[in-house]
């Protein structure tokens, strides 16, 4: 009996741990040369439980990497101008290297305005119009963390991404669009698909690199995968199964694994890369602001 072909697992936890170790070394170097450790400031408005966990995890990860972590927790009813004033104060604070405003913000606060108050040199989420524009123009800037981590993981499965056909499912500002730009910068031929795409299955079957960032549990079926493809599953979806809550991706993992060449699991794939890339951006921003050479991480 021949065994079912099984894709290689792309171990995001291991890749992220390796990256974090290198970031730790770079941070120590920056602290030595500049006389102070890089500092990451995180702003949380409101009491959203998931956001509280994310903010705590980011603070812990920053400290583990040898950085200074600064948290600003504001009540849910804080006015937009007050949030904007805090961001401007952090922009002006020479001790702060990176600023992250945890999303989502409460409905009465205009997230786009607040994000664009962040000094692009400190915009470690890479979401300001300046950094989004730089990515579009192929210029150096701070790049959104989840797309950055996704491309790194794809790179671990392939000798080169150049010339490969990448299909990106999802066109959000946070993930899909920047991911498509990064893959283009790697010389992939990029197709962007979304909720209006006709015959999504056929589009996916063309992909050497298939990145799913839609937020629909197991949307991508096994027979949508080109045999041997690299599958990067960005989705994190909480589902109730057998009376228990669990996390699943946007890809039907078991079915896809029988056809793909390599695939990221959920959890343990793209997720761990997001925080690692946030730390990477903070180290890069710190080096740049202090006139040091960009760390090779
Ligand atoms: P989003 O803003 O809701 O965008 C979803 C995108 O998927 C949209 O462009 C939408 O198309 C498209 N889409 C939705 N349903 C579709 C369908 N049935 N067929 C084809 N396309 C469809 O979500 P997001 O912020 O990009 O996040 C996407 C997923 O990634 C979520 O599961 C999220 O939890 C996860 N995520 C993970 C990380 C991480 O660290 N691993 C970080 C961020 C997000 P339209 O534009 O046409 O509406």
Walking along the chain (297 residues) 10 residues at a time, the average pLDDT comes out as: 78 98 97 97 96 96 98 98 98 98 98 98 98 97 98 98 98 98 98 98 99 98 98 97 95 98 98 97 97 93
Q: Domain spans of the chain? A: 35-120, 144-271
* β-bridge pairing 230-233 and 262-263: parallel
The pLDDT value given to residue 259: 98
Total Cβ atoms within 10 A of residue 199: 9
The answer to whether 227 and 233 have CB atoms below 8 angstroms apart is: no
Which residue has the CA at smallest separation from atom 36 of ligand 1? 235
The pLDDT value given to residue 3: 57
The pLDDT value given to residue 5: 72
Q: Which class would CATH give 35-120? A: alpha beta
36-46 burial, b at 16+ Cβ within 10 Å, e below that, comes to ebbbbbbbbbb
The pLDDT value given to residue 271: 96
* β-bridge pairing 244-248 and 237-241: antiparallel
Whether 44 is in the pocket of ligand 1, judged by its Cβ within 6 Å, is no
The CATH number of domain 144-271, selected from 3.40.50.720, 1.10.10.10, 3.40.640.10, 3.90.1150.10: 3.40.50.720
The side-by-side arrangement of strands in the sheet containing 39-45 is 68-74, 39-45, 98-101
Cis peptide before 267 (omega within 30 of 0): yes
3-state secondary structure of 117: helix
Whether 275 is in the pocket of ligand 1, judged by its Cβ within 6 Å, is no
The pLDDT value given to residue 4: 72
**What ligand 1 atom has the least distance to the C-alpha of 171?**
9
CA of 235 to the centre of ligand 1 (A): 7
The pLDDT value given to residue 157: 98
Q: Which of 97, 122, 123, 125 is catalytic?
A: 125
Same fold for the pair 35-120 and 144-271 = yes
The pLDDT value given to residue 29: 97
């Amino acid at each position: 009996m021949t065994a079912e072909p099984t894709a290689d697992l792309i171990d995001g936890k291991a890749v992220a741990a390796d990256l974090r170790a290198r970031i730790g070394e770079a941070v120590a170097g920056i602290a030595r040369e500049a006389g102070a450790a890089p500092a990451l400031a995180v702003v949380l408005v409101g009491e959203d439980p998931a956001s509280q966990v994310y903010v705590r995890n980011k603070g812990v990860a920053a400290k583990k990497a040898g950085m200074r972590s600064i948290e600003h927790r504001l009540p849910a009813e804080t006015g937009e101008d007050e949030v904007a004033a805090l961001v401007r104060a952090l922009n002006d604070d020479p001790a702060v290297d990176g600023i992250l405003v945890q999303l989502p913000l409460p409905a009465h606060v205009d997230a786009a305005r607040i994000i664009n108050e962040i000094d692009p040199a400190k915009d470690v989420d890479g979401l300001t119009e300046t950094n989004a524009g730089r990515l579009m123009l192929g210029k150096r800037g701070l790049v959104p963390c989840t797309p950055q981590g996704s491309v790194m993981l794809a790179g671990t499965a392939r000798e080169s991404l150049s010339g490969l056909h990448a299909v990106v499912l999802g066109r959000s500002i946070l993930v899909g669009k920047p991911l498509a730009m990064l893959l283009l910068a790697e010389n992939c031929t990029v197709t962007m698909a979304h909720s209006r795409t006709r015959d999504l299955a056929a589009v996916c079957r063309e992909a050497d690199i298939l990145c799913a960032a839609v937020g629909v549990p197991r949307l991508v079926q096994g027979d949508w995968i080109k045999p041997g493809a690299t599958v990067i599953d960005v989705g994190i979806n909480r589902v109730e199964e057998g009376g228990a809550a669990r996390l699943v991706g946007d890809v039907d993992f078991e079915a896809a694994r029988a056809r793909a060449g390599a695939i990221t699991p959920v959890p343990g794939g793209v997720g761990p890369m997001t925080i690692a890339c946030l730390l990477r951006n903070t180290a890069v921003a710190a080096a740049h602001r202090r006139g040091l050479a960009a760390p090779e991480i």
